[in-house]
Structure 1
């Protein structure tokens, strides 16, 4: 195996690292201290990448004096833009649930609410295992010092014995429990047995890291108060200044000319008498003349960067806020589209019937709260899976495929079962047919906050018979997930009326 070569069989790679064959060129052997006997052992390192997953460092330690052996997986790739949290509901008596593969990074924690049990990040290093393997490893580590604990604190040892019975019962699949994997770095995964379809027992949520989580990962995370105290007049503070009524602008914000669109672009086109530029500048989107630029923090490396923002009005839709960030330190770039105005009273379901190549070129705005469904593919993505996107129908489907291949890399290697491989190959071939519009298909965008939009291909939206908009009343569960049930705006309403 050459250095940097992609591997598709993780088990073979791990065994290669553990093998005492120094002839493998990509392996690096170093002498390291054995923590059991105090003698020197050998640690073998292999830097490689798992297809559709991450660059990883596989490490295997062996001590020839006491035969101590262990292995670890450390991530050599970049920090993901957002953290992830996996909730797996394990039913009693189902062994397949316990055999799911789990990738746990160094920063991930594992919880079992039914046992009030948590495995902190430092307790188990990064590893590739299964649900059963992680629980059995935790039980072994708790059992290790039980004999010494009985001599010092018999009551605690007896309580721990009772707890170990419950933990091993979960590891054997005798009782139902919930397996929660939370990773602020976003580098952990739990296998989806139904990929590319949704897994009824597995839910995934992505979230923005807090400053505390950012600091725990070793990146810069300064609080607002600290910045104001250390740099009260500097160029990087985020002190808030009040201007008019409800408009709040961060300190250090400046305005830049937007250029070719908006009022300035329209004035230039009118002055030059260019009718095509007038139409392009004034009638597609109404954008502002100025873009607001304010200091922010990179979501990948934590360094200071700039975020550009402007408000625009999309015809047949609503006012939206477009934000884009670029980090000069690590090169990370991101763009977001946020809804403007009040929260709609009803949700919106958009259905697009794709019949020709013109349909896959439609502009699509997908918000954080929108879910995607393609009935012909048996494909369904929960809300928040891809975040907010501004793209086309073709770009959306391509992004979905890339995301599925990245998240479900377990099902794409040589060691995978034939039926799983055939299922993925069939999914990719049908998706290619849909993108080439060899067959008609349907795209459904369901947004409980009605902040998503698909552009019509006709001048008047009423004449586009392949595009339908349906409003519906949100359920109590949807309002609860969005935090609307407990929202009280009475105080704000009174202040606005004064």
Structure 2
């Protein structure tokens, strides 16, 4: 594991070692220490190995080496899983004067290529092994490695050394955030990643899998109905859907995968929810990237009023109540100071417990790097307090209130008894939608006179 012995590089590796210890403390994963040979001085040093999961990514093995004799340090990342079915390419636009973008973490595999198109600069796979670093760290390491042999180049060919000096000034300006540039990682193994995809475009390199089979477009009968819906959903969602329905026919139609963009299929059927209304269940899955998605669409006419449903959870039994949350419903838990705007999580058929678990998992996925070992202490402590409180609510260690506010009245929480009015913990109220709500839903400019006339005729 040879690497330039610069102060910047050593500090970066020390941070990786500290991060490994922090992850061990948080997750309880064992930190293995192995005595190994130092390639610089020939004495024995210590390599620390940690199997962990990088938030928003996948499982990796972190390796940090340190020699107490010559102070040689190095780190490396290897992947605990397998090669992905698809390669990946990440493109990040880094504006000038925004140093926080340079702090985004980068996971680079052994076979990934790093490019900065504006400088016509490329780091081939063999130049840097698998690493866990930042944008700044990757570029600074490249600068350090290019400077290593500059004195020898000056003796051999001063013109080449001078040209490299000019290039290093530009590359160093990018590393310090003084110049805008584009950072690209191209990885055929699919095992590289850049933190926070908000400004990062991921392109799946479409490697079609051989031997995949599809149901023909059109419809499938009752025999294949459950298989078709279960294929596009998790077991929990499928079980919740089948509780209310036994579809005689499931319609299938072509669509596009929302993750990788290849052709996929969407399956749809209509069912009636007791105490509620007729709804349309849609489930899609992609045989190429494995993406799955399910949605619940309301059937029938648009209600004239919105509805707010309030449930007071007092016991563990209340967690098993069925919940239908449409994509126009907001979710609020006052005791947790949590409020999800309409559209968050999409349409769901689940339970109270499933909804809370889904919220917890979604927050961890979205803010993975903000709560990982590289997060600022106050952010991490704030998240831990929030998550601890959420886990208490999942165990019903205290009473709390779940509120679904749906401007289209397409959400539902099942009562504990057959008589909706007899359930004292569950209440609902209808309200007139505001002009702004109708505007967001596109109802103010909706004209159905032609359709109404055709229907009357």
Q: Distance in 2 between matches of 1:37 and 1:78?
A: 25
Do structure 1's residue 433 and structure 2's residue 433 form an aligned pair?
no
Native 8 Å contact 2:113 2:185 kept in 1: no
- Give the TM-score normalised by the residue count of structure 1: 0.53
Decide which of 241, 257, 275 is 1:316's aligned counterpart. 275
Decide which of 221, 226, 229 is 1:256's aligned counterpart. 221
Is the partner of 2:446 in helix, strand or coil?
coil
> What per-residue deviation string (whole Å, max 9, x for no partner) do you get for residues 275-329 of structure 1?
xxxxxxxx97365422222232222222333322111111111110011122222
Aligned position for 1:175: none
Aligned position for 1:340: 299
Q: Distance in 2 between matches of 1:430 and 1:106?
A: 32
Aligned position for 2:289: 330
> What per-residue deviation string (whole Å, max 9, x for no partner) do you get for residues 97-136 of structure 1?
xxxx9765443xxxxxxxxxxxxxxxxxxxxxxxxxxxxx
Do structure 1's residue 461 and structure 2's residue 382 form an aligned pair?
no
Aligned position for 1:304: 263
Native 8 Å contact 1:252 1:294 kept in 2: yes
Q: Distance in 2 between matches of 1:323 and 1:32?
A: 40
Do structure 1's residue 451 and structure 2's residue 416 form an aligned pair?
no
Is the partner of 1:387 in helix, strand or coil?
coil
Q: Distance in 2 between matches of 1:485 and 1:78?
A: 48
1:109-188 paired onto structure 2 within 5 Å: none
Q: Distance in 2 between matches of 1:327 and 1:366?
A: 24
1:249-398 paired onto structure 2 within 5 Å: 252-257=217-222, 285=244, 287-398=246-357
Question: 1:341/1:75 Cα in 2 relative to 1: closer, same or farther (>3 Å)?
Answer: farther
> What per-residue deviation string (whole Å, max 9, x for no partner) do you get for residues 318-375 of structure 1?
1100111222222222211111111111111010000011101111111111100000
Following TM superposition, by how much is the alpha carbon of 1:403 offset from its aligned partner in structure 2, in angstroms?
1.2
Aligned position for 2:436: 477
Q: Distance in 2 between matches of 1:34 and 1:408?
A: 27
Question: 1:479/1:22 Cα in 2 relative to 1: closer, same or farther (>3 Å)?
Answer: same
Following TM superposition, by how much is the alpha carbon of 1:419 offset from its aligned partner in structure 2, in angstroms?
3.2
> What per-residue deviation string (whole Å, max 9, x for no partner) do you get for residues 391-444 of structure 1?
110110111111112222343134444333322222112111111111110000
User: Mind listing any 5+ residue stretches in structure 2 that lack a counterpart?
Assistant: 1-15, 17-48, 56-63, 65-71, 78-107, 148-163, 176-182, 208-213, 227-241
Is the partner of 1:411 in helix, strand or coil?
coil
User: Mind listing any 5+ residue stretches in structure 1 that lack a counterpart?
Assistant: 9-15, 51-55, 80-100, 108-184, 186-215, 221-235, 237-250, 262-282
Is the partner of 2:221 in helix, strand or coil?
strand
Q: Distance in 1 between matches of 2:358 and 2:346?
A: 11
Following TM superposition, by how much is the alpha carbon of 1:24 offset from its aligned partner in structure 2, in angstroms?
3.1
Is the partner of 1:254 in helix, strand or coil?
strand
304-313 vs 364-373, which moves further: 304-313
Following TM superposition, by how much is the alpha carbon of 1:460 offset from its aligned partner in structure 2, in angstroms?
1.7
Is the partner of 2:251 in helix, strand or coil?
strand
404-413 vs 430-439, which moves further: 404-413
Q: Distance in 2 between matches of 1:29 and 1:294?
A: 39
Aligned position for 1:24: 75
Question: 1:5/1:449 Cα in 2 relative to 1: closer, same or farther (>3 Å)?
Answer: same
Is the partner of 1:24 in helix, strand or coil?
strand
Aligned position for 1:412: 371
Do structure 1's residue 494 and structure 2's residue 449 form an aligned pair?
no
Figure out how many residues of one structure are paired with residues of the other and give that number. Answer: 307
Aligned position for 1:279: none
Native 8 Å contact 1:57 1:74 kept in 2: no
Is the partner of 1:469 in helix, strand or coil?
strand
Quote the RMSD (CA, aligned, Å). 4.2
Native 8 Å contact 2:76 2:131 kept in 1: no
Question: 1:48/1:253 Cα in 2 relative to 1: closer, same or farther (>3 Å)?
Answer: farther
Question: 1:410/1:288 Cα in 2 relative to 1: closer, same or farther (>3 Å)?
Answer: closer
Q: Distance in 1 between matches of 2:380 and 2:401?
A: 25
Question: 1:46/1:58 Cα in 2 relative to 1: closer, same or farther (>3 Å)?
Answer: farther
Q: Distance in 2 between matches of 1:421 and 1:32?
A: 30
Following TM superposition, by how much is the alpha carbon of 1:219 offset from its aligned partner in structure 2, in angstroms?
6.6
Is the partner of 1:302 in helix, strand or coil?
coil
